[in-house]
């Protein structure tokens, strides 16, 4: 049994952003949720998040998670932040884990190791790592396994700054925590209440402080945009490696972006620059072409998306294909063997088996029957300025190039629409509809104009 506190009240000045730092997304998910999920993995009895700067937004992001919220009204430092959880945890006997909302790569295994030290009798345990460039982190003073103190960068002498072992910002404490916190003073360069000062305070009370040595990557804290990009890079590398291990082929993997919510099957091929977001699911043998963007889109086995296609909320059944340069919007459903080609936009439309729309068309709020051919430049005029209307096209129909189907309208099975028609009335099954001016040829007119006739 333990309680966990996550510190997430800081402004994150160095991000230079209106968005609170802990809400900056990593692979589409707020940074804070990484720390939160690591904490939840250990099933704490109580989980408190300390919020402050941009707190309302942070609380919103926490919705649905089993957390309690403590408010830090003024950001006076990490020790002061932790003290704000006292009201909620006063009667909790400990041990306590404390982590930071800006350290997203910390693993549950490491947290468990910290907790174990305290369970085995240490008063306090903290995670340390050795960094080639320790700039910005607190430096660790130690003697063997025992930690003597932590010195923040701002307060460090050149000799101390040369120390490369740093405080990663993850701690475990025994039940003495809140009593000790009251002894923290802000007599330092930042005029802040430093949480790592607890090292010295615990020692002064005769309690042992131990370090757990971690791997550098886990400790990466996010204070700047550059660090955010670095952490995102680590997460992406891990994710790509995981999917390649499960049989996904990635060409130039370092150019491929995907989010943890995406699911891929074996023998999927991803070409360079593919962007896969949200609840995108890609079935066996599918191919995603270069620079395609798929969000919340499903490709059933054997479907294909060609270069530069953008799909959002679309569903492609086996053998369907879209692109290059296709645009599929929410509710676009392409059944088996459908092909949608370049500069074709499909929204909230069901295209039955074998429909072809090869070039330059807009299909919105439409249902198109099996085997129908949609010519280049065809448009379903679904919007009358106020409301959206439906277009229904039957099976094996042929809609000639550059036709406008003014909805609500129906075109029957096997009907033919002549090129350039503006269809405002239903077309019966098997009929030919031509709705355009007939062609007139004025013999010799052009030559007369040129003075040659």
Q: Which of 4, 80, 359, 389 is catalytic?
A: 359
CA-nearest of 118, 314, 340, 90 to 212 is 118
| 317 has catalytic annotation | no
CA–CA distances in Å: residue 452 to residues 259, 438, 444, 446, 447? 69, 28, 10, 9, 5
CB of 14 to Ca ion, least distance (A): 9
Cβ-based nearer residue to ligand UD1, 80 or 277: 80
CB of 115 to ligand UD1, least distance (A): 19
Q: Is 221 in the site for ligand UD1 (CB under 6 A)?
A: yes
CA-nearest of 268, 270, 351, 343 to 310 is 343
List the beta bridge partners of residue 149.
Answer: 141
Concatenated DSSP letters of 254-286: GG-EE-TT-EE-TT-EE-TT-EEETT-EE-TT-
- Is the Cβ–Cβ distance between 246 and 266 less than 8 Å? yes
81, 292, 310, 322: residue in contact with ligand UD1 (rule CB under 6 A): 81
CA distance 346 to 12: 42
CB of 250 to ligand UD1, least distance (A): 32
CB of 267 to Ca ion, least distance (A): 42
Give the binding range for ligand UD1 (CB under 6 A) out of 97-105, 245-253, 277-285, 312-320: 97-105
CA-nearest of 391, 387, 400, 287 to 346 is 391
CB atoms within 10 A of CB 280: 25
CB atoms within 10 A of CB 412: 18
Site for ligand UD1, residues 22 to 41, rule: CB under 6 A: 22
Q: Is 212 in the site for ligand UD1 (CB under 6 A)?
A: no
55, 169, 302, 323: residue in contact with ligand UD1 (rule CB under 6 A): 169
Q: Is 54 in the site for ligand UD1 (CB under 6 A)?
A: no
Q: Which does 76 bind (CB under 5 to 8 A by kind): Ca ion, ligand UD1, none?
A: ligand UD1
CA distance 162 to 133: 9
CB of 178 to ligand UD1, least distance (A): 16
Cβ-based nearer residue to ligand UD1, 95 or 196: 196
CB of 80 to ligand UD1, least distance (A): 6
User: What letter does residue 13 receive in the DSSP assignment?
Assistant: G
CB of 10 to Ca ion, least distance (A): 7
Give the binding range for ligand UD1 (CB under 6 A) out of 76-84, 111-119, 338-346, 412-420: 76-84
Tell me how many residues contact ligand UD1 (CB under 6 A). 31
Q: Is 77 in the site for ligand UD1 (CB under 6 A)?
A: yes
Locate 294 and state its tokens.
């798929």
Q: Is 221 in the site for Ca ion (CB under 5 A)?
A: yes
Locate 95 and state its tokens.
């041990």
Cβ-based nearer residue to ligand UD1, 193 or 362: 193
138, 283, 313, 375: residue in contact with ligand UD1 (rule CB under 6 A): 138
Q: Which does 271 bind (CB under 5 to 8 A by kind): Ca ion, ligand UD1, none?
A: none
CA-nearest of 424, 367, 421 to 390 is 367
Q: How far is CA 221 from the centre of its chain?
A: 19
Q: Is 150 in the site for ligand UD1 (CB under 6 A)?
A: yes
CA-nearest of 190, 180, 183 to 152 is 190
User: Three-state DSSP class for 6?
Assistant: strand
Locate 176 and state its tokens.
């003495």
In sequence order, what are the residues at sequence separation of 6 or more whose Cβ sits closer than 8 angstroms to the Cβ of residue 399?
Answer: 372, 373, 374, 375, 378, 393, 405, 411, 417
- Is the Cβ–Cβ distance between 382 and 361 less than 8 Å? no
Q: Which does 81 bind (CB under 5 to 8 A by kind): Ca ion, ligand UD1, none?
A: ligand UD1
17, 40, 42, 75: residue in contact with ligand UD1 (rule CB under 6 A): 75
54, 85, 152, 374: residue in contact with ligand UD1 (rule CB under 6 A): 152
Residues that are catalytic: 359
Provide the binding-site residues for ligand UD1, judged by CB under 6 A: 7-10, 22, 50, 52, 72, 75-78, 80-81, 100-103, 137-138, 150, 152, 166-169, 194-196, 221, 223
Which residues are at the interface with Ca ion (CB under 5 A)? Answer: 102, 221, 223
């Amino acid at each position: 049994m333990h309680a966990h506190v996550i510190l997430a009240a800081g402004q994150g000045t160095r991000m230079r952003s209106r968005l609170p730092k802990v809400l900056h997304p990593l692979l589409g998910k707020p940074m804070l949720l990484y720390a939160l999920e690591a904490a939840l993995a250990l099933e704490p009895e109580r989980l408190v998040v300390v919020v402050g700067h941009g707190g309302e937004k942070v609380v919103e992001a926490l919705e649905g998670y089993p957390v309690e919220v403590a408010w830090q009204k003024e950001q006076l430092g990490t020790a002061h932040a932790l003290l704000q959880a006292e009201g909620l945890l006063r009667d909790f006997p400990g041990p306590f884990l404390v982590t930071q909302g800006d350290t997203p790569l910390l693993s549950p295994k490491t947290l468990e190791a910290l907790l174990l030290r305290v369970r085995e009798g240490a008063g306090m345990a903290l995670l340390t790592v050795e960094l080639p460039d320790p700039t910005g982190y607190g430096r660790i003073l130690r003697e063997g396994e025992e930690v003597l103190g932590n010195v923040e960068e701002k307060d460090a002498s050149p000799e101390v700054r040369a120390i490369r072992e740093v405080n990663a910002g993850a701690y475990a404490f025994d039940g003495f925590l809140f009593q000790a916190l009251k002894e923290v003073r802000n007599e330092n360069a930042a005029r802040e209440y430093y949480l790592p000062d607890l090292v010295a305070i615990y020692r002064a009370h005769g309690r042992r402080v131990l370090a757990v040595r971690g791997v550098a990557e886990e400790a990466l804290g996010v204070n700047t945009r550059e660090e955010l990009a670095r952490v995102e890079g680590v997460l992406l590398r891990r994710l790509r490696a995981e999917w390649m291990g499960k049989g996904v082929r990635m060409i130039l993997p370092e150019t491929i972006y995907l989010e943890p919510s995406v699911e891929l099957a074996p023998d999927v091929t991803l070409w360079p620059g593919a962007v896969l977001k949200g609840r995108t699911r890609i079935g066996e043998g599918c191919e995603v072409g270069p620079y395609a963007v798929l969000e919340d889109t499903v490709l059933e086995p054997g479907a294909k998306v060609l270069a530069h296609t953008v799909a959002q909320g679309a569903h492609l059944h086996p053998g369907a294909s879209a692109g290059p340069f296709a645009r599929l919007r929410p509710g676009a459903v392409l059944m088996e063997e459908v092909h949608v080609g370049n500069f074709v936009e499909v929204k909230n439309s069901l295209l039955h088996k074998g429909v072809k729309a090869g070039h330059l068309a807009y299909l919105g709020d439409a249902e198109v029957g099996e085997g129908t051919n949609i010519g280049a430049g065809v448009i379903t005029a679904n919007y009358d300025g106020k409301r959206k209307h439906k277009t229904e096209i039957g099976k094996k129909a042929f809609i000639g190039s550059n036709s406008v189907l003014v909805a609500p309208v129906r075109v029957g099975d096997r009907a033919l629409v002549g090129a350039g028609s503006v269809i405002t009335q239903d077309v019966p099954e098997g009929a030919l509809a031509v709705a355009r001016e007939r062609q007139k040829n004025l013999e010799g007119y052009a030559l007369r104009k040129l003075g040659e006739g």
